[in-house]
Amino acid sequence: MRIGQYEVSTVVTSRFGLDGGSMFGVIPKSIWGKDAVPDSSNRIPLVTRSLLIRGGGKVILVDTGNGDKWDGKMRDILATDPTETNLTGALAQHGVTPDDVTEVICTHLHFDHAGGNTRLEGSETIPTFPNATYHLHRENWEWAMSPTEKDQGSYRSENWEAIAENGMFSFVEGEDGILDEIGLRLTHGHTPGQMHPILTEGDTTLYFAGDLFPTRLHFRLPCIMAFDNEPLKTLKEKREVLERAVEEKWAVVLAHDPDCEAVNVAADGDRFRIEKEFTLD
Ligand SMILES: [Zn+2]
């Protein structure tokens, strides 16, 4: 999809599984289990989907997925196999090498969004994208430094220490845009300072939903992940974003849906529904 000076594509950087109950919060399995069929450990199939934005001399990657630093035990828990689907392989399919990437936009530092920020070289953890500036919201950085006992398992310092040590972070303050023609909307219910890049040209708007709407099932307002720190805040943020998305016909890109990369949404009385599913190609 072309938006202004940028060509925008989606890239699936890993496949993995998370507990279905955690993913859908208060929604019972009798409802979600028909659409997201769990395995024998109750894990539902998910992907990590990044945005690749190219133009104006820049190669911009939004989120880096699970990465490949996992040991055998964690690969098993997360049902992930980086030898099958991985970040560098997925970028190579678009003709992009790690050296080409000039900017990484981290929506937030949860491991399934920032795991590919770094990689192992021998026993050393190094930045995956040596020529990139990594953009992160200041509020999320501060939270990642001292998460709560509820969410500390999602924040793993091996995904950012090497970036910080090499002075490669650029911290976003307030609701300033990130780069030329790439705006920003923030949410805080999932985790403080989650950044959602937004690109607009004329009537076309593309919004990266990150962990606000991880899959198509999350457009039901009460379907909020158990991972969220402040679910009622998420509820309010979902409604605000959806109202705007309906009015302005946003293309909403889904970070974790295994079978759908983008949707348009429509209002349906007090609720919202998916009007159209599509790819950005
Ligand atoms: Zn998250």
Tell me how far the alpha carbon of residue 73 lies from the centroid of ligand 1, in angstroms: 21
Query: What would the two tokens of residue 229 be?
Result: 């720190």
Q: How confident is the model over 21-50, as pLDDT tens digits?
A: 999 999 999 999 999 999 999 999 999 999
Tell me how far the alpha carbon of residue 210 lies from the centroid of ligand 1, in angstroms: 7
Q: Is the pLDDT of residue 206 over 90?
A: yes
Find the CATH number of the domain harbouring 228.
Answer: 3.60.15.10
Residue 215's pLDDT band, with cuts at 50, 70 and 90, is: very high
If one counts the domains in the chain, the total is 1
**Of 181, 180, 225, the residue nearest 199 (C-alpha):** 181
Taking the complete model, does pTM exceed 0.95, yes or no?
yes
Query: What would the two tokens of residue 92 be?
Result: 């190579």
Tell me how far the alpha carbon of residue 242 lies from the centroid of ligand 1, in angstroms: 19
List residues bridging with 195 in a β-sheet.
186
DSSP state of 229: S
Q: How confident is the model over 251-264, as pLDDT tens digits?
A: 999 999 999 999 99
- The arrangement of strands across the sheet holding 103-105 comes to 2-3, 6-19, 43-55, 58-62, 103-105, 133-137, 169-172
Q: How confident is the model over 142-191, as pLDDT tens digits?
A: 999 999 999 999 999 999 999 999 999 999 999 888 887 899 999 999 99
* E-only strand ranges, 72-121: 103-105, 118-121
Tell me how far the alpha carbon of residue 155 lies from the centroid of ligand 1, in angstroms: 9
Tell me how far the alpha carbon of residue 191 lies from the centroid of ligand 1, in angstroms: 7
The residue to which tokens 């949860």 are assigned: 110
pLDDT of 181 = 86
d(CA 70, CA 217): 28
Query: What would the two tokens of residue 273 be?
Result: 């529904």
Tell me how far the alpha carbon of residue 202 lies from the centroid of ligand 1, in angstroms: 31
Q: What are phi and psi of 39, to 5 degrees?
A: -85, -170
Number of neighbours of residue 217 by Cβ within 10 angstroms: 18
| Structural domain span for residue 180 | 2-278
pLDDT of 275 = 97
